Structure 1
Amino acid sequence: MKILLFVLITHSATAQTKKADSLLSELNNAKYDSTRIKILFKLSFELRAANSDQALNYARQALSIAKETNNKKDEAKALNNIGLAFFYKSEYDRSISYYNSSLTIAMANSDSAAISLAYNQIGNTYKSLDNFPRSIEYHKKALAIRLGTTDTISMAQSYLNLGNSYVKNSQYELALKNFLVALDLLAFRPEAIEKSSSMNGIGNVYLYQKNYKKALSYYIQGYNFSIRNDDPRGINTFSMNVGNAYRFLKNYDSASYYLHQAVDLTEKSKNKGKMGEVYIAISSFYEEIGRYDKAIEFSKKANDVYTEIGFTGPLAQARLALAQQFLKSGNKETGARYLKEGLAIADSVKDKQILLSVYQCIAQCYNLLGNNLSAFKYMEKTMAVQDSLYTTNSIEAISQMQSTFDIKSKENEIELLNKEKQISEFQISRQKTIISSLIGSAFLFTLLVFFIYRGYKKTKNANLALSHAYEQINEKNKNISDSILYAKNIQNALLKLPSSFEKLMKENYFILYKPKDVVSGDFYWIEEYNNMILVAAADCTGHGVPGSLMSMLGIEKLKQAVREKGLTDPGDILSFVNRSFKETLSASGTETALRDGMDIALCCIESATDIIRFSGANRPLWLIEDNDNQRTLKEIKPTKAAIGGFTDEKQVFEKHDVLVNKGSTVYLFTDGFSDQFGGDHNKKFNLKRLREMIPSISHLTMKEQKEALEKAFNKWKGDYEQVDDVLIIGLRNG
């Protein structure tokens, strides 16, 4: 599935390039200024994110034509596009300057569409500058104009922009209300790209409210919508947000995939503000999984970007992230230096959500340095910001309910007087609240001191009780560990190879077996019966202790099929084991047990012939044949059904007779090797890579093949966690 998504993303970028190329071709063939300026507007807008320098060039060409033809409407639009290009270059002051120039011309010509567009763009720019009240002010101005039109797309855009500014100002109820209104307006416009923005906004609200599953649901809807509509900017944004949601849900494999994808896409877009966001996100991911070297690498990149473009809030975040990561890695000197740099700009941060994160990070840094007094001080600041966020949210929500968007001009003066009165009343109320908060804080501080003192007096008794509790926990842990080790001894005994197999195969086999945990859900089974050798590689549901219990059941059922029922054909054995599995597990009556089962590859070797009989349940057999020094891989496909689980009890497993010539090699394996995450980009090793590797090493001795596979696996895995049990069996006809 991930490979498919990568192809679609690449296609999106290619589609954008083709669109720009097509427009350039039209521009070169255009004869009239009226045609050329329309194409220049389209080119400037199309390239605003992917190549802001080129977008700026086309917008300036459009401005020249507009001035030459004295077309004020086009001049206002060209100035707006120049402002947009500077916005994507993260040069926000210049961006606002051009938007204001566009606004002046639009007002002089009573061009309401251009006026609302300028208000909209200025609002977006103030949001990027962390001036959220001004951002909300301008977006409300844009919305008031657009509500007087029939343009639902423009209305939806204004609701979206208001929602985004409310999110940044931590006013989540108002944000959600605006996003839902936008989504409702777009109900009959399924192709509108603004739908993905609505989904993203709703996801952001749920993320800030720590409802990560619901946030992920909306992010994934937006991600898929962006892919269907070839929207690389949308794919970029959702890649980061999906990755963040997976990180909060502790699904680190998926988080890594989407965050690395976001890094790749953002670096190609050259949008420095977005690059900083993505670097901070992936840095937090690496810090959370203990990869401080990688966390520091990306935090430094974020620090460099934010230093260049002068974003105070995110810059403080980046420096304090570096402080925390260096301290956690044991480098206190460098950590303290970055802490000092972060402190120097922390109090100038305006974004309250970022400020909350900044104060929390400072408190953690001081805690790591052992400075508990300073840590306590910044935890108090954190609580103060949280209180402020709650107050802002409540006040604005009440204010919003008391007013409407369609205020008539003649009521403005009365409304202004009412607002002044409300402000006065609010200031008095706020003073009372502050006094009450101070009294409450003093009381809480006194109470805290009391509890600390009482805790100190009780420390000796508490330590004794804690010591006793630790002894009990250690005893229970020891009992659990002993039980697991005992299970391992039982499993190892069941996996013991028969002497006749070793005598027959000699040095013509290998078994690469790497359990993820102490015990394993993967197992190999080798049984001698009537001058035949049966060999199986199986993967049971789960790993660790649950998987090992399933594997013991699987071995028992295979033995029963051969020793008690006298079955030797792999297809007949698998049919018996399937029925027996289902009977045994269904007796428990639980839904989980009914889903449990195993995938298996099973073959029967007769020493007197070169024919191997094979049957598989979701696991294939690979045969490497040596034809004139050309090694080719042939796959014998399994039956697409598992043993047990939801497979019908009457399932028949296809039987194959496979000719294995002298010198040819057979491989049976589970999916643990190919499913391992790692490499430079923490992706799966995958089946394709394994298919390429096996023929390349098949000329080696069986011992050397095992060593080569193990080395490749360990190198690919690197410092990442092993994700599943690993089993590969190689059998050569010597």
Structure 2
Amino acid sequence: MTLYTKEVKQLYQKKAYDSCILKSNFYISFLKKNIEYKSLPSLYLQIAKSKRKLREYNDGKEASAHALYWSFKSVDSIKIADSYTELARNFKALTVYDSAIYNYQKALLIYQNKDDYIGESIVLNNLGSIHKIKGEFTKALEYYIKDLDLNRKNNSERDMAIAYNNIGQIHNSTNNFNLAISFFKRSEEIRRKLNDMHGLALVINNIASAYSQQNKTDLALDNLYIALTIFEKHKSTYRTTETLLNISNILIQKGQFRDAEIFINKANKKSREFEIENLIARGNYLSGENYFNQQFYNKALPYLLEAKQFYDQEHYVVDRINTQKLLYETYHELHRYKKAFKAHKLWSKLYIKMNTTIQQKELAVLNQRYLNKESLLKIDRLNKEQLLQQEKLVYQNRVNAALIFISFLALIFVIFIYISLQKRKKSLKIIKEQHDEISVINEELTDSLKYAHKIQRSLNAIPSKAKDLFNDYLIFWKPLHEVSGDVFSVSVKNDIVFISLMDFTGHGAPAALLATLGVKVLNSIIDSGISSPEKILQELDIRMNNLLEDKQESSGMDAAIVTINLKTNYLEFAGARRPLFYIDESGQHYIKGTKRSISDKLSNHHYSYQKHIIPITSELKFYLYSDGFQDQFGGVKNKKFLEKNLRQLIIDNSSESFSIQKERMEDVRTKWMAPQSDIQYKPTDDTLIIGFHFKV
């Protein structure tokens, strides 16, 4: 290391980046004049690193290219690899990921040939990071595992902790939460051993994220509070602010909106004081989300607009999409349909950039809602004008009647009374005829719906062959109207019991028609010989997409499939946004469904569903349910019942017979919708819960 490079490196380590750049440029000019090129690669690298720290990535990219050129001139392999690495870092910051990957791979080959394990580890870590950002989790995991093996071989515990943490993040992103937590715990153990408190807090943050995804919000909060304490102790302003926002996000998830607002305000104060723009934007988004969930849509709107202004200027694609979607929903709730339409249109364009297919069905629905709203407003104006004209006419008639009354008191009074009586009789006759006609129509519609209800109940009937296999079973079915979009199906074929629950978009007759179609398609799939639940869902997705591809309305569904092999006594489960909850000798267990609905037009058609296998025991009881019960508004504060409370209701009564469990569910739902004598909430959606206890 020359005196020139030593001095600029010290400036860089002191974070005096501007001084480092000035001094490096001065020495570069001096050395070029004196035809001394040996130190040029190192000086250009210091400029590139400083520019990157100052977020001047294009300048950093240019300086990296100069460093690469002079490294080749000096035939310094390690400097060539370092230059490729720095060039890749700037491409990564500019979100030019393919160029970043190309340069990292160039550097990787050199580091491997030179046995430079530190450089190799840095590159493997960054390659994994890029593939994770791109959603290529398999490739990311391959690089992170290579990094872990490399650091094990060289006994680098600090880098092993980083690798364990990275692997945990991949499993967390792919919904393998228990596996993710196990890797996070390994990283945590090393961090504690090394007394690396800052790194420990980062890992604890990730553990909290995994617990949050499992709806273990209390555990998530416990970990976040620990992380917050560590970051505050180490005076890490950025991480402290970030953790405050993470806590507020969990509190919003728990419905504790006032507490969430307190943490958001604390975070906003810090982020504005230190001008941390991306956290200011996130704070604005969370404020908007918090107010939105409280139905304070006018308060939510300005915060979301401020967040949008930042994300429009930066490369925060996911945050921009989330903000735009919440803006659309806010405008929609405020009945500002033109704004909602524009916001949804922009959200759709942004979403399409991250997907291979263009699906604009929600736009069509929203546009139709807007046109319908305009029509309703026009009709309302005409009705008001007509009512005003009628009021003017009535007033004029009264004036005329008064004049006639004064002029011809006795005679006209009698005539007036007679005419009034005749008009009233005629009006009453017309009203009675209209009332009778409406009553007949209503009776016919009611009879039709009741008949449809009977048909749907017959489709949902459990065959006697299947009933003989159950010790007990539960059907808690509450359609919002006479017919329902929430249906279930039970059948037996080739020593396999098929149990399914489907929750179609919407409710009433349209959803019921789709539900009937869905049951028919499901039975056809089972009859074709497909018996594995994840393959049934896959085939159901394909067939429903083919049947509904020309529809303009939203027509998706969530589903859960359970199969029982009577020969092996194993239960298999796969879900499309619907979970399985079961209780056995070891306690209660909750398995989330795959995060993709059936006939989801905005998702990848080749998405695969995950299968889970569970041995059947004599104590095993399992439950499938739609989102109707948990999304029911009620209680004194008019909040959603929430899924965690539904699961607790099941747990509290699991030792009872299913008939008693059904009574308890009915009682809890009734009290939730009528918490006081003067408060009565209406049902918001179809509700379906099914449970089974098999004979073993």
User: Structure 2-normalised TM-score?
Assistant: 0.46
